[in-house]
Amino acid sequence: MTLWTILASGAGVVAIAAAGSLLLPRHVHVEREATLQAAPEAILALAASNTGYQQFNPYLSVDPALKIDPFGPPSGVGSGFAFDGKDGTGTQMVAEVSDGAVHYEIDLGAMGQPTQIIAVDPLEGGVRVTWSMDADMGFNPVGRVMGLFLDGMIGKTLDRGLSNLAAAI
């Protein structure tokens, strides 16, 4: 076997793997929920506030050195914060507030621009809180493969955030 044959075979395997990764899902959805004993308005008020969010921010509980720099109005659309910590840097901003949900736009730079929603559904004696994240992995083969593991990675973070929220209210 010549060196040329080995290189051509290796390039073929890489090309097939890259093309195959494009068959993986482009859009990834991660969701967790919890039932809490709280008023929906109390949860939405915390979630829509750049400082209120810090009371249950799941990244603060694992990175006490996380730097948070609030911006925009204290609450509502445009309220947000920049962050810099061991898991990365970026911004998170409230994009929409409705009767039952707060929508966030997140900018992680080269890591992407996922969106998150914290939604509340009143229940008898409490509220169901659903925290979800959606990410577009684009046409990047590495991103598409990472998307397969996002539920396991981000799901733990959302669970921690829901637990922190239960303790904060």
Instruction: Let me know: does 162 contact 156? Beta carbons within 8 Å.
Output: no
Per the structure, how many domains does the chain have? 1
Range of the domain at 159: 26-168
Mean pLDDT of the chain: 88
pLDDT digits (tens, 9 = 90+) for 123-155: 988 999 999 999 998 887 887 788 787 898 899
45: three-class secondary structure by DSSP:
helix
DSSP assignment, residue 2?
-
Residue 21 counted as domain residue: no
Can you give the CATH number for the domain in which 132 is found?
A: 3.30.530.20
| pLDDT recorded at residue 10 | 53
pLDDT digits (tens, 9 = 90+) for 66-85: 999 999 999 999 999 999 99
| pLDDT recorded at residue 70 | 97
126: three-class secondary structure by DSSP:
strand
| pLDDT recorded at residue 79 | 98
Mean pLDDT within 16-21? 46
pLDDT digits (tens, 9 = 90+) for 33-63: 999 999 999 999 999 999 999 999 999 989 9
Residue 9 counted as domain residue: no
Length of the chain as a residue count: 169
Report residue 145 CA to chain centroid gap. Answer: 17
Mean pLDDT within 99-125? 94
Q: What's the rounded Cα separation, in Å, for the pair 96 and 55?
A: 20
Residue 72 counted as domain residue: yes
Mean pLDDT within 95-123? 95
Cα angle 45, 103, 150 (rounded to 5 degrees) comes to 120
